[in-house]
Chain A
Amino acid sequence: MRGFFRWASKWWPGLVPLAVLWGLAAWNATVPLENDLAAKATATLKDAILAQMRLTVAGRDVTLAADAFSEEGRRDALARVGGVSGVRLVNDETRLVPEAQPFVWTAERDVAHIALGGNAPLPAVKAKLLDTARAAVAGVEVADQMGLARGAPAKFDAAALLLIDQIARLKDGKITLSDTSVKLAGMARDLGGREAIAAALKNLPQGYSIADNAIKAPPYIFQANKDPVAVTVTFTGYVPDNAVHAALVAAATRKFFDEKVLDQLKASVGAPAGFANAATVALGALSRLSTGSLVMADREIRLSGDALYPAAADQIRASLGTDLPQGWKVKADISVRPAATPVDASVCQQLFVELFGKGKIRFDTASSAIDRDSLGLLDRLAETALRCPSAEIEIAGHTDTAGDDGTNQTLSEKRAQAVVDYLVRAGLPAERLSAVGYGSSKPLASNDTEDGRAQNRRIEFVVKE
């Protein structure tokens, strides 16, 4: 054993080549070793949730700089790197991303851009929100202005994704999610967009609430234009649904007895309350004008045109003031058409016959109250009567044979009188007018068919020279 130690004390010259070998090894192996460790550490952190991760390897020591989203995730990442075989030390330069209080996320849109701002809780959520925004609004530039922060409320993703769908429905505007309260402002892209957004917001995850919904919709427009030259009345714009559409067109066909109804209406949600009533009243007013246009924008009605005679202009203004549903505003710009040239009595009779050929005066069932749909025709009759100042006119009421003769006689008289009263209000002298009831004594057609009875129920104007 002593010999062994003696020999061992002679091993030192070998240290010289060993030192050379060491130097060579250090020269050649350092960079490959560092690269190998970096690759392994990166691989082990592949599915770790970190932001701005930076790995640097010096010798066998790894420095990990990253933003973690929880204390647990931070420790886990450090432990994983420390567990890589060959790693000697892990220098911890990780930190937790700051906690946002309150946690605010925003989506802002103008026509060609969408900017997502505020905070997202995780990089994956951020990427998903951006992808969803790009998919929801094709062809619009999506800018990412989101930072990362902790402190997002539960179900943040679901809420934010739902709000991105809503930003797609806006033309411009801003949606702000602050913790669990949502604020919306802006202009909906389509008519009905505001209602669609309000409906979608009901699906927000539990606990989320709407602090302020200031989404505006484009005005709900309904337009009608009466053109006396083309003898048409053209409808454009929107109606709430098919039922209202059909009802309005049917009413228009009765009111505009002379004109062809050109229907270019489209159905859309978003109509203001009382739309159908307001449209009926406004169309009634339009039907009494010789030429005119009606624009309904939200709850504002603008009617302009020419009435047939001065009293009609006053009546139209007054009825718009009283008959419209509550909350509707009207701006009537009604002038009076210059009086037509006078004609003699025979021409007058001819004009009456022509008018009755196109439409008839209707009354409520078994009553002498004039149906409002007939006011347009009555105004044309009154205007014609005003053109023949010398003529005396008999207003003759007729009924069908249904019911008791005495009742029919009375009804025909009352109806004729109602028309006379209307004409007097229109400015005709009462002495030129006489109301006569004929009951069912002068039928035009057989009373055996419904069609025939309808023809027999009538008012006629007979000019007496």
Chain B
Amino acid sequence: MAYLALFHWGWLAGALLIGLGMGWISVVHRGQPLSPAKLGLVAAVVAALVALAVAHLVPGRIGYWCDLGLALFAVYLAGCAVGTLLRQWVVSRYAAAH
């Protein structure tokens, strides 16, 4: 894992930035939220992929791309969470000031 992080730090940083941006936007975004059913489906797919990756079931390059995708996705989620919390904090301070 450490090797993956070191080798792909540029790409991971990119995913983090996308996540931060998406999290930042999501607080004031008026778009459709994902229904709980779809959210559950996404979670199930991700959980299945994680299980495959941990069990080393997918061989060769596909397996590596799967690992890479999951790593990018994890960093993206972390970016989203941080972005959301930051924006929420900024918004609440702004609301309190006015």
Contact = CB atoms under 8 A, between A and B. Distances in A.
Contact of A86 (B7, B27, B68): B7
A60 B63 contact: yes
A61 B36 CA distance: 37
A318 interface: no
A248 B65 CA distance: 93
Question: Interface extent on B, as a size class?
Answer: 35 or more
Contact of B23 (A11, A21, A25, A86): A11
Contacts of B50: none
A22 B80 contact: no
B46 to A, nearest CB: 11
Nearest to A4: B84
Contacts of A128: none
A403 interface: no
Contacts of A24: 11
Contact of B80 (A8, A58, A59, A85): A8
Question: Interface extent on A, as a size class?
Answer: 20 to 34
A30 interface: yes
A4 B34 CA distance: 13
Which of A24, A36, A61 has most B Cβ within 10 Å?
A: A61
Interface stretch (A12-20, A322-330, A356-364): A12-20
Nearest to A63: B60
B27 A36 contact: no
Contact of B72 (A25, A59, A61, A85): A25
Contacts of B63: 59-61, 88-89
B71 to A, nearest CB: 9
Contact of A18 (B27, B39, B59, B76): B76
Given A21-B18, A61-B63, A10 B7 contact: no
A61 B8 contact: no
B72 A18 contact: yes
A3 interface: yes
A26 B68 CA distance: 8
Given A7-B27, A30-B61, A86-B7, A21 B68 contact: no
A26 B88 CA distance: 34
A7 B68 contact: no
Given A58-B60, A61-B59, 11 more contacts: A3-B88, A8-B84, A11-B23, A11-B77, A14-B18, A18-B15, A22-B68, A26-B65, A58-B64, A60-B63, A89-B56
The 5 nearest A-B residue pairs measured at CB: A59-B64, A14-B22, A86-B3, A58-B60, A9-B33
